[in-house]
């Protein structure tokens, strides 16, 4: 079975949707950030703070490759930056993967992230005004990488269940 990879900007719902999709289709899911945290025995915040982002990107690449090389069927929820570093975007178009970009608007991302910043070191210290501007710029910079996905599923104004159904229909 091909591995299902969910990607997209912070807050688009990768971790949330991976969990519900997993229940819906009976395929186990791995959240890449949680997998890194377990392997490193450290939180994402602590890794950024103590070792820096470049070190995190190395761990992230290693963890992604490790999961792709395993023979287990799985849904992988990436981190928002995963496709944008270490040529990881080239791994989104492999033969054994189905990659899905969960595409959200700046407003949707802002609404969700303004309530959930503390565990995301890239935005934790930003005011609402700074956050909105940051998302707009950063999403623009990253879109090239997100658009490498084999499939795109828009998520604005959809419930978790609706997005899961849309993914299932897209991959059918
Ligand atoms: N319809 C929805 N789909 C996905 N997430 C939603 C939705 N509505 C609200 N949320 C919330 O938005 C946040 C998405 O965060 P998360 O799943 O961690 O995204 P990511 O892993 O892409 O950063 C969660 O707090 C989730 O509860
Ligand atoms: O966009 C990014 O660079 C990051 C996204 C985070 O994952 P989520 O997209 O699941 O929040 C996490 O990997 C880290 O904080 C860096
Ligand atoms: Mg996540």
Domain ranges of the chain: 3-156
Do 29 and 21 meet the contact criterion of CB atoms below 8 Å apart?
yes
Distance 16 CA to ligand 1 centre (A): 5
Residue 120 labelled as part of a binding site: yes
Ligand nearest to the CA of 12: 1
Residue 103: predicted pLDDT: 98
What is the per-residue pLDDT across 115-132, written as a single tens digit (0 to 9) for each? 999 999 999 999 999 999
Radius of gyration of the chain (CA): 15
**Mean pLDDT of all residues in 97-118:** 97
163: Cβ–Cβ under 8 A, 6 or more apart, which residues?
13, 17, 102, 153, 155
Residue 6: predicted pLDDT: 98
Domain 3-156, classified CATH 1.25.40.10, yes or no? no
Banded model confidence at residue 30, pLDDT cuts 50, 70, 90 = very high
Distance 10 CA to ligand 2 centre (A): 6
For residues 96 and 167, give the distance between their C-alpha atoms in angstroms, rounded to a whole number. Answer: 17
């Amino acid at each position: 079975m091909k591995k299902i990879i969910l990607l997209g900007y912070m807050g688009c719902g990768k971790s949330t949707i991976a969990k519900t999709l997993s229940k819906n289709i009976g395929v186990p899911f791995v959240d890449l950030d949680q997998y890194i945290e377990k392997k490193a025995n450290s939180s994402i915040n602590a890794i950024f703070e103590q070792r820096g982002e470049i070190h995190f990107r190395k761990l992230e690449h290693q963890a992604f490759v490790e999961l792709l090389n395993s023979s287990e069927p799985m849904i992988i929820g990436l981190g928002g930056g995963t496709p944008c570093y270490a040529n990881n975007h080239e791994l989104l178009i492999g033969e054994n993967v189905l990659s899905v970009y969960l595409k959200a608007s700046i407003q949707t991302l802002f609404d969700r992230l303004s309530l959930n910043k503390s565990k995301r070191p890239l935005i934790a210290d930003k005011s609402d005004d700074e956050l909105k501007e940051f998302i707009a710029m950063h999403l623009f910079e990253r879109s090239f990488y997100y658009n490498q996905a084999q499939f795109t599923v828009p998520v604005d104004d959809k419930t978790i269940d609706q997005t899961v159904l849309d993914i299932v229909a897209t991959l059918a």
